[in-house]
Amino acid sequence: MMRLPMKMKMQDKMWRVEQVLGQCGLYDVADVVVGDNSFTGGGLSGGQKRRLCIALQLLDLPSVIFLDEPTSGLDSASSLELLETLHSLTLSGRLVVVTIHQPRIEIFHMFDAILLLCEGQVAYFGSPIIAPTMIAEALKDSGQTFDASNPADSIMDVLTNPEAQKSILDYYLQSGEIQAINRAIARARRHPQKTLSMKFQKQTSSIQNRLLALDGRTSASQTLSQSFYFPLIYLLYGLALGTCYWKTHKGVLLMSCYMVFSCASQLFLASVIHGHLHKAFALFELEKADGIGHSTELILHVFIRTFSKSSIPLIMSCAIIYLCSIQDYVLWKFCLTTLIHLQLNQAWIAIIVFTAC
């Protein structure tokens, strides 16, 4: 949701997400939480994570997609599944450019065109079906053999052979393919109206929508014990201080009690904020590199969420301390002391957040 423009209706955004999930084969894991597997119960596999990265880019409906070694680190089954997803995207009119090392034969024949590089030079460019025939023809005069039954592995083997490298590069230079490509480039320059000029225009949602998306993502990854952290801590702290200052009848002692409460609250506030920031920073760096993450949003999100989650437990704790310490219950005194404590608590949160960031 953070990627899609703010003018786009929510119904259209949800339809876009459903469409991309279907294209990338992620319907079955649509509700799986991505991140720390300690509470998600498994999470996504390596291949599913790669497809999720592709799905995030597809939200912008790009015409051209570049992927640098998307199958590295994946097993053969996951690699095949990923390339099948990419091949299905080409059927909708998108251009997919992939760099890959030693693909299995099923993956090799999925490509509409391949570009073989050797020592920084083009060894072949064209259909993968014709590539084995061309390489076998190039090696015919050198006396070397080429196994066309497994072209992907055989091509890599011959391209690492110094003698075969020279034969293949010389054959390609004399084949006329380079001249044909140069003629096509020259024609495009003579007729610029037939070329497309791509202007970069990054569209993102409003800061309010992005903050809501961040809060929803944080809530989805929060455990039950984390949800009850603030209420439980403030309740126990209020009872402890309330019993220490039981029926003091003195405003000075009451205010000193509140000051002790305020100074000590930074201890457990700091642990919560730093724990949240530690998890958020890794994801923030990825989103920032992708152009959708901003430090202002991260700071505002942590500040607003921490303050909102701690406000009600803090008021509850203030009420416990006040009722335990004072006998003459005056509403304006309670409101004043609570307001002072809220301001102090807000100041501590701001100091911790800005210091950490």
pLDDT recorded at residue 20: 86
What integer is the mean pLDDT of 93-107? 86
Contact present, 154 and 147 (Cβ < 8 Å): yes
Tens digit of pLDDT for each residue in 253-301? 666 666 666 666 666 666 666 666 666 676 666 666 666 666 677 777 7
108 pLDDT above the threshold of 80? yes
What integer is the mean pLDDT of 30-41? 62
Please report the domains of the chain, with CATH numbers, ordered by start residue.
Answer: 1-101 (3.40.50.300), 127-190 (no CATH), 223-356 (no CATH)
pLDDT above 90 coverage of the chain, percent: 2
Tokens of 124: 């072949």
What integer is the mean pLDDT of 315-326? 73
First and final CA of the chain: distance in angstroms?
Answer: 25
What integer is the mean pLDDT of 155-170? 83
pLDDT recorded at residue 200: 46
The CA distance from 73 to 81, in Å, is: 14
What integer is the mean pLDDT of 148-166? 81
Q: In terms of Cα–Cα distance, which of 306, 309, 291, 311 is closest to 357?
A: 306
337 pLDDT above the threshold of 60? yes
Amino acid at 347: A
Amino acid at 99: T
More confident residue, 210 or 52: 52
pLDDT above 70 coverage of the chain, percent: 63
More confident residue, 137 or 278: 137
Global pTM reads 0.60
**How does the average pLDDT of the chain come out, rounded?**
75
What per-residue string of b and e applies to 194-221 under the rule 16 or more CB within 10 Å gives b?
Answer: eeeeeeeeeebbeeebbbebbeebbeee
The CA distance from 246 to 118, in Å, is: 83
Where would I find the beta strands (DSSP E) of 50-149?
64-68, 95-99, 114-118, 121-126
More confident residue, 145 or 15: 15
Tens digit of pLDDT for each residue in 42-86? 577 778 888 888 888 888 788 888 999 888 888 888 888 888 888
